[in-house]
Structure 1
Amino acid sequence: MDASQRQAVENLLRLSPIADELGELFAAAGFTLHLVGGSVRDALLGRLGNDLDFTTDARPAQIQRLLAPWADAVWDTGIAFGTVGASKRDAGTTWIIEITTFRADAYDGQSRNPEVTFGDSLDGDLVRRDFSINAMAVSVPDHDFTDPFGGLAALATGRLDTPAAPEQSFSDDPLRMLRAARFAAQLQVTPAPRVLAAMRQMAPQIQRITAERVRAELEKLLLGAAPRAGLTLLVDSGLAQFVLPELPALILERDEHHQHKDVYQHSLTVLEQAIAQEEDGPDLTLRLAALLHDVGKPATRRFESGGGVSFHHHEVVGAKLIRKRMRALKFPKQLTEDVANLTFLHLRFHGYSGGQWTDSAVRRYVTDAGPLLPWLHKLVRADSTTRNPRRRAALQRSYDSLEERIAELAAAEDLARVRPDLDGNAIMQLLDLPPGPLVGRAWKYLKELRLERGPLTRDEAEAELLAWAEREGING
């Protein structure tokens, strides 16, 4: 450990004196305690949060007895796996602590859940961890650094490797292959050749993992600092074929007679351009929509006479594919609908060429987008990946114009809440109707009229409704 790295760990432990305090507590009881895994890695990267992970030779019941009088709260949610959790407030920070007994687990090769076996050595515990950058430890309170698998050097060079043979590591827990892609996105590390080879060979084993766990890793990957790197690794390793097959499907073969934009690379670029517009941190809705907005293209590609290529209605097909995939991965229902609807709407702007839309068309654009309008603005802007600077500037000016039109109409008409000028009660009173489907039809007519003409006065709305009722033969 060089001086700067030791300083990083020392700074961590100074910021969190409870680590040493906890170490002294365990030492007094005759046990060892080590800060371990992601806590050490993140300390070395200067990005530690308020979660601290420890490992110890104490057994779970002994850990509980030591923590009970010291911590503010203790929980045993993970005790079946040898983990005891606790929280402790210190110097204005609430630290979340997990302490796990040394492990020496055995796997059956069918499930990712091990047969939990407690070990008796730190090195034995570290060798079973997923990657060498997570297999470093710092003892407390004496701060001895343990790195038997070269995690420090791997971290310094951005190399992702496994403590044991990667084939054994991934056989024990196939989710670790997805974690490799996630770390590529979060930490900008590159898998060692043997790790990539093992991922390619063992990619089908990811099917042993539940959809919920796969989704959780995909979310973390997408919310990382460089998701393109993680997604590229998913595709290059073959994992994407099993967890997100719509992504590699975007790699469409092209020939010299039918040229079109590389849809796969285009989608990754749109993702990066969407990220560049984020204002309040990583936005999962925006990132998913940017990545998946063109997934309907492979199924809709048609070669036209004269060498052209078309993708008619790919937004409709894409929205259906997104719903199917996100449901299979157990994404929340609202998130699924939002991403699908953004995909369905993302081409609508291209009808705005030259600013020729009527006010009615602008109202419909806003109303159809509803609360998704801010995301739709960003997605449409990100979807411009042309290398022609003149065309790119023209597209941006056109969307600037549309946003200005929206703002002007919104100021005049409260576009955020486009509703009929008469509510259901007023409709029933005017037409002398009881509650029922006819009221819904009348409401829908007035809504369409509102979109077409903008706000009406009360007298105008009542006159229009009465005229409509007469045309429809509706008598109260």
Structure 2
Amino acid sequence: MSVDFEVWPEAIELGRLFAAQGYELSLVGGPVRDMLLHRRSHDLDFCTSARPEQFEPILRHWGRDGFWDMGRKFGTLGAMRRREDGTEVQAEITTYRSDTYDSDSRKPEVDYGDSLDGDLSRRDFTVNAMALRVPELEFVDPFGGAADLAKGLLRTPVDPYQSFEDDPLRMMRAVRFVAQLGFRIEAGTAEAISDMAERIGIVSAERVRDELVKLMRSDRPREGVEALVDSGLADIVLPEVPALRLEIDEHHRHKDVFEHSLEVLDRAVKLETGPDGPVPAPDTVLRLAALLHDIGKPRTRRYEPGGKVSFHHHDAVGAKMTRKRLKALHFDRHTIDDVSELVNMHLRFHGYVDEPWTDSAVRRYVKDSGHLYERLNRLTRADATTQNKRKAMQFSAAMDEMEQRVRELKEREDFEAIRPDVNGNEIIEILGIKPGPLVGKAYKHMLEYRLDNGPVEHETAVAELHRWFGEQLSR
């Protein structure tokens, strides 16, 4: 089968270079899939009949702007070149493979194969098991990937149980593709994932985390999370999320927390900004916080007199649970801190609706949220999912008012660097005391005074410091 659409000139050039040496070369996987979807990519994956030591000189010649061989033991070498317009094209080339797997590990014993069809049979899904021979542009599709692509269907090229036995991470890739491509998982493949979900436990936390991040940063994170939960994989890798599916009692005394969390995720995505805005899309921290903000509810649920249901302190409990889970998934420290703090603060604004804050409280909100201020406001807005239009309008108006007050206060004060009007050295000098815990207490009091009163004259701040110190001496 031949193809009529535009193909990367760099791919054709490489194909001619390999053919001149008597080697086969084919574009494979994602680039072919994306080409059929009319999506362009600057990262090209190839497979070849040549061994790494045979094609290395060809690739080095082609990739005049960069070369790497970290995957040499797996038969993979890579190179890069820059176009005249400054864009980069990266190519990774792998020798035909016919891998065997140890049942206790997803790391294959690499065996070189001898055919393109054999190499394609070891791919994760049929939509990634298509190839385009270059330079002749022959389309190769032994497992019906093009038909599955047209149907939006994810299916393994071989028996799914064998495929997931060989590499359990493919199960995570399936739910990630649901989120990225909007595909559905074929029934037999979905059944195999559900039956084998526990096998994901042999995959490293870093690999699972990377797939989860790609899912969350996709165009359809909600669909990906639903697939993750429905498959049973979430029970292993993110159990706090399926635990949100609290049973709904006959009197509907509380919302379905799982569905609410998905709605908050949807709404948070819509509140992200363009690249020049304060929360550029896709924002991993905001999206994770939206998904996890209520995970403390199952542990804090209480049935109160009168049939009401409460979740007291679920924000603080949820923040601790979030930190523990993200650590287990080996997220970086900054992501762990930021997501956990957003979960911890997601209820902070709610009292403003009934009684607008003083300037002092507004300053504290901005100070406490710090660099998370814009994300926190978006999480708070996304969390207001009430169907009561009057309450929704009141909440939105209150958020608008608070944000306007912050803008006005920022015109008068440097919120990014709120400090006491006297620093630690001045406290020591003014009070005539030695460095120690008392200086720390004084500094903390003066910071609270600054937050309560805004910037004041130096003499006023000194007077307040003396007043506070006198109280300490009289105790």
Output the TM-score relative to the length of structure 2: 0.96
8 Å Cα contact 1:35-1:54 kept in structure 2: yes
What is the aligned partner in structure 1 of residue 107 from structure 2?
Answer: 113
What is the aligned partner in structure 2 of residue 210 from structure 1?
Answer: 204
What is the aligned partner in structure 2 of residue 361 from structure 1?
Answer: 361
What is the aligned partner in structure 2 of residue 454 from structure 1?
Answer: 454
Distance in 1 between the 2:436 and 2:197 partners? 56
What is the aligned partner in structure 2 of residue 82 from structure 1?
Answer: 75
Whether 1:91 and 2:84 are equivalent positions in the alignment is: yes
Q: CA deviation at 1:436?
A: 2.5
Whether 1:53 and 2:45 are equivalent positions in the alignment is: yes
What is the aligned partner in structure 1 of residue 18 from structure 2?
Answer: 26
Deviating more after overlay: 256-265 vs 395-404: 256-265
Distance in 2 between the 1:35 and 1:146 partners? 10
RMSD of Structure 2 on Structure 1 (CA): 1.5
Whether 1:325 and 2:319 are equivalent positions in the alignment is: no
Query: Cα deviation per residue 1:42-96 (whole Å; 9 max; x = unaligned)?
Result: 1122222210000000011112122223321222100111101111223333211
Alignment of 1:294-333 (within 5 A): 294-333=294-333
Question: Equivalent of 1:122, from 108, 116, 123?
Answer: 116
Distance in 2 between the 1:114 and 1:103 partners? 10
Whether 1:173 and 2:167 are equivalent positions in the alignment is: yes
Q: CA deviation at 1:19?
A: 0.9
Distance in 1 between the 2:315 and 2:322 partners? 10
Deviating more after overlay: 281-290 vs 408-417: 408-417
Return structure 1 stretches of 4+ with deviation > 3 angstroms. none
Distance in 1 between the 2:141 and 2:389 partners? 51
Q: CA deviation at 1:347?
A: 0.4
8 Å Cα contact 1:270-1:290 kept in structure 2: yes
8 Å Cα contact 1:386-1:392 kept in structure 2: yes
Q: What SS class does the counterpart of residue 88 from structure 2 fall into?
A: strand
What is the aligned partner in structure 2 of residue 290 from structure 1?
Answer: 290
8 Å Cα contact 1:258-1:309 kept in structure 2: no
Distance in 2 between the 1:49 and 1:426 partners? 59
Deviating more after overlay: 91-100 vs 55-64: 91-100
8 Å Cα contact 2:59-2:78 kept in structure 1: no
Question: Equivalent of 1:103, from 97, 102, 114?
Answer: 97
8 Å Cα contact 1:355-1:398 kept in structure 2: no
What is the aligned partner in structure 1 of residue 371 from structure 2?
Answer: 371
What is the aligned partner in structure 2 of residue 272 from structure 1?
Answer: 266
Q: CA deviation at 1:356?
A: 2.6
Distance in 2 between the 1:451 and 1:317 partners? 27
Q: CA deviation at 1:434?
A: 3.1
Q: What SS class does the counterpart of residue 164 from structure 1 fall into?
A: coil
Distance in 2 between the 1:385 and 1:116 partners? 51
Distance in 2 between the 1:86 and 1:408 partners? 52
Deviating more after overlay: 427-436 vs 193-202: 427-436
Q: What SS class does the counterpart of residue 221 from structure 1 fall into?
A: helix
Distance in 1 between the 2:440 and 2:283 partners? 37
What is the aligned partner in structure 2 of residue 423 from structure 1?
Answer: 423
8 Å Cα contact 2:248-2:255 kept in structure 1: no
Structure 1: stretches of 5+ with no match in the other structure: none
Q: What SS class does the counterpart of residue 52 from structure 1 fall into?
A: strand
Distance in 2 between the 1:414 and 1:118 partners? 63
Distance in 2 between the 1:121 and 1:321 partners? 49
Query: Cα deviation per residue 1:160-215 (whole Å; 9 max; x = unaligned)?
Result: 10100110100000000000010000000000000110000000000010101000
Q: CA deviation at 1:437?
A: 2.2
Distance in 1 between the 2:271 and 2:71 partners? 39
Q: What SS class does the counterpart of residue 214 from structure 1 fall into?
A: helix
8 Å Cα contact 1:354-1:398 kept in structure 2: no
Q: CA deviation at 1:258?
A: 5.6
Distance in 1 between the 2:284 and 2:450 partners? 34
Distance in 2 between the 1:70 and 1:406 partners? 55
Distance in 1 between the 2:374 and 2:227 partners? 31
Whether 1:250 and 2:256 are equivalent positions in the alignment is: no
Paired residue type of 2:442: A
Distance in 1 between the 2:138 and 2:203 partners? 36
8 Å Cα contact 1:248-1:264 kept in structure 2: yes
8 Å Cα contact 1:82-1:100 kept in structure 2: yes
Q: CA deviation at 1:355?
A: 4.3
Distance in 2 between the 1:87 and 1:457 partners? 60
Distance in 2 between the 1:81 and 1:154 partners? 29
Query: Cα deviation per residue 1:106-147 (whole Å; 9 max; x = unaligned)?
Result: 112110011100000000000000000000000111100000
Q: What SS class does the counterpart of residue 352 from structure 1 fall into?
A: helix
Q: What SS class does the counterpart of residue 214 from structure 2 fall into?
A: helix
8 Å Cα contact 1:137-1:146 kept in structure 2: yes
What is the aligned partner in structure 1 of residue 277 from structure 2?
Answer: none
Q: How many residue pairs were aligned?
A: 467
Query: Cα deviation per residue 1:329-349 (whole Å; 9 max; x = unaligned)?
Result: 000111101011111111011
Distance in 2 between the 1:384 and 1:348 partners? 13
Q: Percent identity?
A: 54
Q: CA deviation at 1:408?
A: 1.9
Whether 1:339 and 2:331 are equivalent positions in the alignment is: no
8 Å Cα contact 2:353-2:394 kept in structure 1: no
Structure 2: stretches of 5+ with no match in the other structure: 274-279
Distance in 1 between the 2:12 and 2:168 partners? 35
8 Å Cα contact 1:355-1:402 kept in structure 2: no
Q: What SS class does the counterpart of residue 138 from structure 1 fall into?
A: strand
Deviating more after overlay: 438-447 vs 83-92: 83-92
Paired residue type of 1:368: D
Distance in 1 between the 2:391 and 2:194 partners? 40
> Structure 1's 281 and 47: CA in aligned 2 closer, same or farther, altered over 3 A?
farther
Question: Equivalent of 1:70, from 42, 62, 67?
Answer: 62
Distance in 2 between the 1:69 and 1:47 partners? 28
What is the aligned partner in structure 2 of residue 229 from structure 1?
Answer: 223
Deviating more after overlay: 437-446 vs 169-178: 437-446
